[in-house]
Structure 1
Amino acid sequence: MAGSAPTDDIVGNGSEEIDPSETTIESLFADLRALTAETSAPTAAAETRDIKHLLAEAYERGLLDSEVRELQARDAAEAFVGSVIFASPLLVEDGVFDIGTHLFESTVAGVPIFLIANTLFVVLMTYALLEWTGRNQEETTVVLRSLPVRVVMILVVSFFVAAVLMTVWGRVNGWADPVEAVARINVIWTVGSIGAALGDILSENDPAPSVGPPAATGRNASGATAAREKPPTAGLPDAVDEWADGELVSAINAEFDDLESVVDERDREAVNRIREETVQAALDDGFGDRIQKYTSRDIAEAFVGSVFFAIPFLVEDGVFEIAGFFLSVRLGGVPVAFVLNAAFVLLMILALVYWAGPQDVRVNRPIFGLIPRRLVGIAVVSFLTAAALMTLWGRVDGWREPVVALARISVVWTVASFGASLGDILPGESSGADINDDLAALTDGGDSAGRSDSVGDSNEE
């Protein structure tokens, strides 16, 4: 039959490894539509429609991901709730006043540099949470060509919540000094923005794409994705929503068997390819997966997790007392408690990631053939995050006593490392290339450029 290219595209190279993180409900629907258009089997359309109904149910349960996400009014409500939950505990902490004073009194040429730096940090943090460690989805609504409106919404909602709560609870002295009030609100906003972003990320999926014609999932004139609704599952059991996830995956497999039985011989490879993508993606999201790769996204996730766990400790003066204890316990001049705490942090990272954590994480391509890369990455990222936050919020007295500053940072580093560990592994294996491969590509690129320059020079001679 003429025009078999689309089916060939679906089949691809049978030996290619499938990346479950790249499989979305939109891509599966597109492959099924292409298969239906190319096959001559009269009942293929009905079979693919049944499969789409089950795929829509799998998506609603979170077993399949979507490649796009639309901004809705409900997202703002979820961000509002998340910011209130996260910001409220810090409203009673007097440490907020000290940090706020540091933010607006640390100036250069009259410019509150730390206040500006913290504001930029909040923006970066929000963007990182939504774009680097979220669901790896493309936003349908952006401003300035690349900035998702969702990021702007999170920032505005969380700042509004922080300002209202601080004002209502009398924590800004009636706005007698607006700059000081904004600085205090800025501290609460830092935490509120994290809660707002998480409230939005952890919300339920958008409605599943329509099982009907392709136009139902297309873009309208304004660029937004058209409304997507899941129709009733005609021809399938009414109790499909009561099935366990394993039963649903088995039913999807059975429907693919039915489709395979009605298509031509040359189309069966395409059916099996789509089936394999579906099952691997569903098992990856629903039942966990082995984590082996270490990517740049893992580093970003560790950064976000460390910030999330560290911030509540930044406002606690008890950190100073613990740091003093670390430096007071000495044997032969060595701060034993400080050293033991550092060893404890590394041991806890190992335990959380490799031994007692919620994911099956394997050591892959260790440094010097022995040291796990993920251990080093989490330890370094969480320490640098703790050091940066403690410095930014004025909790190390300007590093006048470096040893004392390091002791204070080590206290916050302890909890930051827990957050970094969980932030890295909880989302599962990240998409993208392994960081070793990225570094090798950069090195090869530099070497190639150097060789090209050398060749060019020799040719000129």
Structure 2
Amino acid sequence: MPERELDQLFDELETLEATVDEDARERVAAVIDAAEDVEDEVAYLEDRGAFGNVIRGYDRADITETFLGSLLFGVPMAVEGGTTEVGAFFAARPWFLAGTVAATVALVYGVLYVADIQDVRVKDPLLGVLPRRFVGVISISLGTAVVLLTGWGRIDWTAPAVALGACVAAFFPMAIGAALGDILPGS
């Protein structure tokens, strides 16, 4: 709402407040307080620039942003030989593999819903509880890791434990990139 319209609204509310009975005056005062809170929130969000967007839903544009963020962080993992070494390390230590998966899931949740980078709202959760954006970021980044590492010949599924470990090693940064790629444009 433009500033001039807000000023006009406040003037009209103050005029109304002066002309009504005591009970209505209290209600008008409450409306004025609420309008001032909205005005403060709008000013705060305008000051944040590219950040502070309210993000709802999860559509094709979000899926594309998720995929591109995943690729941006994942291509270096696919060309780096150390990813397979980490996969071998994880194959010998399944607790580290499980811990990395848990840390990845927790970090993605934190980036999306806790870090307050954007105001991400949950709309139409899957099965009534799973946020679509969260499921999308996790599944797209994991799928991209598997397809990219396999397609580029970086892993060999004849040694599935090592291949899985390498995919999890790539999944970690790819999931963070996917989450950031999705929410930073603010769609």
Q: Read off the aligned partner of 2:146 and give its amino acid letter.
A: A
Is 2:173 the counterpart of 1:186? no
In the TM superposition, 1:108-257 aligns within 5 A as 112-133=94-115, 134-143=117-126, 145-173=128-156, 175-205=157-187
Q: Which AA in structure 1 matches 2:169?
A: V
Letter in 2 for 1:137: V
What is the letter of the counterpart of residue 173 of structure 2?
V
Q: Is the 8 A contact 1:71 1:141 kept in 2?
A: no
- 1:91 equivalent in alignment to 2:78: yes
1:55-107 Cα offsets, whole Å, 9 max, x none, are 9xx6xx758643x522212101100011011100121222112211111211x
TM-score, normalization by structure 1: 0.32
Residue 6 (structure 2) aligns with: none
Give the direction of change, closer, same or farther, for the CA distance of 1:185–1:63 in structure 2 (3 Å limit). Answer: closer
Change (3 A) 1:65 1:82: closer
Question: Deviations along 1:211-269, whole A, 9 cap, x unmatched?
Answer: xxxxxxxxxxxxxxxxxxxxxxxxxxxxxxxxxxxxxxxxxxxxxxxxxxxxxxxxxxx
Shift in CA distance, 113/202, structure 1 to aligned 2, threshold 3 Å: same
C-alpha spacing 1:198/1:18, structure 2 compared with 1 (3 Å): same
> What do the CA deviations read for 1:318-374 (whole angstroms, capped 9, x no partner)?
xxxxxxxxxxxxxxxxxxxxxxxxxxxxxxxxxxxxxxxxxxxxxxxxxxxxxxxxx
Question: How far is the alpha carbon of 1:129 from its aligned partner?
Answer: 0.6
**CA offset at residue 186 of structure 1?**
0.7
Q: Which amino acid aligns with 1:100?
A: G
2-structure distance, mates of 1:63, 1:90: 28
Superimposed CA distance per residue, residues 154-193 of structure 1 (whole angstroms, 9 cap, x where no aligned partner): 00001111111101110112x1122221111111111111
Alpha-carbon distance change, 70 to 189 in structure 1, aligned in 2, over 3 angstroms: same
Partner of 1:7: 28
CA distance, structure 2, for counterparts of residue 132 and residue 86 of structure 1 = 21
- TM value normalised by structure 2: 0.74
Q: Which amino acid aligns with 1:149?
A: R
Pair 5,69 (structure 1): closer, same or farther in 2 beyond 3 Å: farther
Q: Is the partner of 2:185 in helix, strand or coil?
A: coil
Aligned position for 1:413: none
Percent identity (aligned): 28
Is the helix fraction higher in 1 or 2? 2
* Closer/same/farther in 2, CA of residues 151 and 63 from structure 1, 3 Å limit: closer
Distance 1:64 1:8 in 2: 28
Q: What is the distance in 2 between the residues matched to 1:62 and 1:125?
A: 22
Show the counterpart of 2:69: 82
Equivalence map 1:341-360=2 (5 Å): none
How far apart are the structure 1 equivalents of 2:162 and 2:82?
A: 14
Give ranges in structure 2 of 5+ residues lacking alignment: 1-19
Residues 121, 144 of structure 1: CA spacing in aligned structure 2 closer, same or farther, 3 A cutoff?
A: farther
Correspondence for 1:259 = none
Greater length-normalized contact order (CA 8 Å, ≥ 6 residues apart): 2
Q: How many residues align?
A: 162
Unmatched tracts of structure 1, length 5 or more: 26-54, 107-111, 206-461
Q: After the TM superposition, list the runs of 4 or more consecutive aligned residues in structure 1 that deviate by more than 6 angstroms.
A: 16-19
Return the letter of the residue paired with 1:93. Answer: E
SS at match of 2:153: coil
